[in-house]
Structure 1
Amino acid sequence: MSLSPPVRQEYEVTLEPFTQSELVRDISLPRRIWQQAWVRKGVILLALAVLWELAARWQNNDLLLPSFLQTANAFIEGVASGELLSKVWISLTVLIKGYLIGIVLAFGLTTLAVSTQLGRDLLSTLTAMFNPLPAIALLPLSLLWFGLGENSLIFVLVHSVLWALALNTYAGFLGVSETQRMAGRNYGLRGLRFVWHILIPAALPSILAGLKIGWAFAWRTLIAAELVFGASSGKGGLGWYIFQNRNELYTDKVFAGLAAVILIGLLVENLLFNTFERLTIKRWGMQR
């Protein structure tokens, strides 16, 4: 006796044609709103503000922890008077100068590193020496070499940007596939043209990560350095604004200055870097 599975009769199921309008109708309005990144981030910020307000009311000591509403009021007054905006302008002016110089030097080092063996040895040696060194630790030397002023700040900013960006850029260059390299060589690209047309577009995700890290390092280094420069020379940007109000026990203004630092970081991240990322690597399918 042979065992065999039962034979099932074949049949077809006719499906209704799928349309995009049906998909839109299936997603409710609240869910569509929640899918917006700025809405979710706004909810997070609102929740943090509520927790801050509750913690301040529970603490009940304005000198130690002013409430969110008190800080917001000090921030609005600082903006309306122009004092806070002038400090922000001073800090950003110095920051952009140091940041741009650091970018130029980083790309110069990495271009040399992908072109020659001596450049690779130079980059690996310098990054091993100086990357672990905190930028703020060079502040006494910068004061000795450049004196009190903008040049000393720019020196420590270049140090904070240079090594992080150089390491990420060089790692991105090394990750470029051999197929892309061969395609560039077949078109006769050499030297700077090879770096500009082949390596930089292919390594753009790593370069953008390095730019973000360099910006974050430079921003916090600047604020920390301005605390010292402000105490020494009586002038400065946001760091000096925070230091001065801390000495005068205006804690709400101290928090307003810190809020300005955070807001500038959020604006740069979401308006500058995210926009550049969306228009380049995400649009090209290099990153999800």
Structure 2
Amino acid sequence: MSLSPPVRQEYEVALEPFTQSELVRDISLPRRIWQQAWVRKGVILLALAVLWELAARWQNNDLLLPSFLQTANAFIDGIASGELLSKVWISLTVLIKGYLIGIVLAFGLTTLAVSTQLGRDLLSTLTAMFNPLPAIALLPLSLLWFGLGENSLIFVLVHSVLWALALNTYAGFLGVSETQRMAGRNYGLRGLRFVWYILIPAALPSILAGLKIGWAFAWRTLIAAELVFGASSGKGGLGWYIFQNRNELYTDKVFAGLAAVILIGLLVENLLFNTFERLTIKRWGMQR
């Protein structure tokens, strides 16, 4: 007796194609709004603000933890009086100078590293020596060498940016495929032209990550340095603003200064880095 599986009769189901109206109807208006990144991030920020306000009301001590509304009022008052804006401008001026110098030096070191063996040894040795060294630990030396001025801050800012960016950039250069390298050499690209047209576009995700890390390190170093020795050339930035108000027990203004640092970080991340990322590596299909 032979066993055979039952034969199922074949059939075909005709499917109606979707119309444009049905596709539009499937994506409702709330869903389309929620798909916007700025809406989701705004909801997250609103939730954090509500939690902050509830925690402050539960703590019931303005000296230890001012509420979100008190901090917002202090922030608005600082903007209206121009005091907070002037502090932000002073800090940003110093920060951008140190950040740009650090970028130039980092790209110089990594270009030398991918060009010569001596450059590779130099970069690996310097990063092993100085990358673990906190930038703020160099502040006493910078004060001794450059005095109480802007140059001292720029020195420690360059240190905070240089090594993180150099390491990320060099790691990105090493990750460039041999096929892309051979294509560049076939076109006769050598030296700086090879780095500019082949290595930098291919390693752009790593470079962008290094730029973000360097920006965050620079902010931390600047605020810490201003908290340590205060004003620079008779002018104080956000760190000095926070330090002064802490001494005078204006905790709401201290939080307003911290909020200014956070808001600048959010603006730079979403308007500068994300826009650059969307126009380059995401458009090129290098990142999701």
TM-score range, shorter chain: over 0.9
- Asked whether the equivalents of residues 229 and 235 of structure 1 are also in contact (C-alpha less than 8 Å), the reply is no
1:10, distance to aligned residue in structure 2 (A): 2.2
Q: Distance in 2 between matches of 1:139 and 1:20?
A: 64
Q: Which moved more, 1:48-57 or 1:262-271?
A: 48-57
1:2, distance to aligned residue in structure 2 (A): 2.2
Residues 231 and 83 (structure 1 numbering): CA distance in 2 closer, same or farther, change over 3 Å?
closer
1:231, distance to aligned residue in structure 2 (A): 6.0
- Asked whether the equivalents of residues 245 and 254 of structure 1 are also in contact (C-alpha less than 8 Å), the reply is yes
Q: Which moved more, 1:207-216 or 1:244-253?
A: 244-253
Runs of 4+ in structure 1 off by over 6 angstroms are none
1:233, distance to aligned residue in structure 2 (A): 6.2
Q: Distance in 2 between matches of 1:110 and 1:138?
A: 23
1:44, distance to aligned residue in structure 2 (A): 1.0
Offset from partner CA, 1:248-276 (integer Å, 9 cap, x none): 11111111001001100111011100010
Offset from partner CA, 1:63-98 (integer Å, 9 cap, x none): 111111111001000000100000000000000000
- Asked whether the equivalents of residues 56 and 67 of structure 1 are also in contact (C-alpha less than 8 Å), the reply is yes
Q: Distance in 1 between matches of 2:136 and 2:254?
A: 21
- Asked whether the equivalents of residues 229 and 236 of structure 1 are also in contact (C-alpha less than 8 Å), the reply is no
Offset from partner CA, 1:23-61 (integer Å, 9 cap, x none): 331122222211211111111111111111111111111
Offset from partner CA, 1:137-172 (integer Å, 9 cap, x none): 000000000001000000000000000000000000
Offset from partner CA, 1:71-128 (integer Å, 9 cap, x none): 1001000000100000000000000000000000000000000000000000000000
- Asked whether the equivalents of residues 136 and 156 of structure 1 are also in contact (C-alpha less than 8 Å), the reply is yes
Describe the SS at the equivalent of 1:232. coil
Offset from partner CA, 1:218-256 (integer Å, 9 cap, x none): 011101111123168653100000001111111111110
Q: Distance in 2 between matches of 1:20 and 1:111?
A: 53
Q: Structure 1 regions of 5+ residues with no counterpart?
A: none
Q: Which residue of the partner structure matches residue 11 of structure 1?
A: 11
- Asked whether the equivalents of residues 231 and 237 of structure 2 are also in contact (C-alpha less than 8 Å), the reply is no
Q: Which moved more, 1:134-143 or 1:38-47?
A: 38-47
Q: Distance in 2 between matches of 1:77 and 1:169?
A: 42
Q: Which residue of the partner structure matches residue 260 of structure 1?
A: 260
1:11, distance to aligned residue in structure 2 (A): 2.0
**Identity fraction in percent:** 99
- Asked whether the equivalents of residues 223 and 239 of structure 1 are also in contact (C-alpha less than 8 Å), the reply is yes
Residues 12 and 174 (structure 1 numbering): CA distance in 2 closer, same or farther, change over 3 Å?
same
Residues 92 and 274 (structure 1 numbering): CA distance in 2 closer, same or farther, change over 3 Å?
same
- Asked whether the equivalents of residues 157 and 218 of structure 1 are also in contact (C-alpha less than 8 Å), the reply is yes
Q: Distance in 2 between matches of 1:136 and 1:267?
A: 25
Q: Distance in 1 between matches of 2:145 and 2:124?
A: 26
- Asked whether the equivalents of residues 156 and 221 of structure 2 are also in contact (C-alpha less than 8 Å), the reply is yes
Number of residues paired by the alignment?
Answer: 288
Q: Which residue of the partner structure matches residue 33 of structure 2?
A: 33
1:19, distance to aligned residue in structure 2 (A): 4.1
1:22, distance to aligned residue in structure 2 (A): 2.5
- Asked whether the equivalents of residues 90 and 235 of structure 2 are also in contact (C-alpha less than 8 Å), the reply is no
Q: Distance in 2 between matches of 1:284 and 1:76?
A: 41
- Asked whether the equivalents of residues 150 and 232 of structure 2 are also in contact (C-alpha less than 8 Å), the reply is no
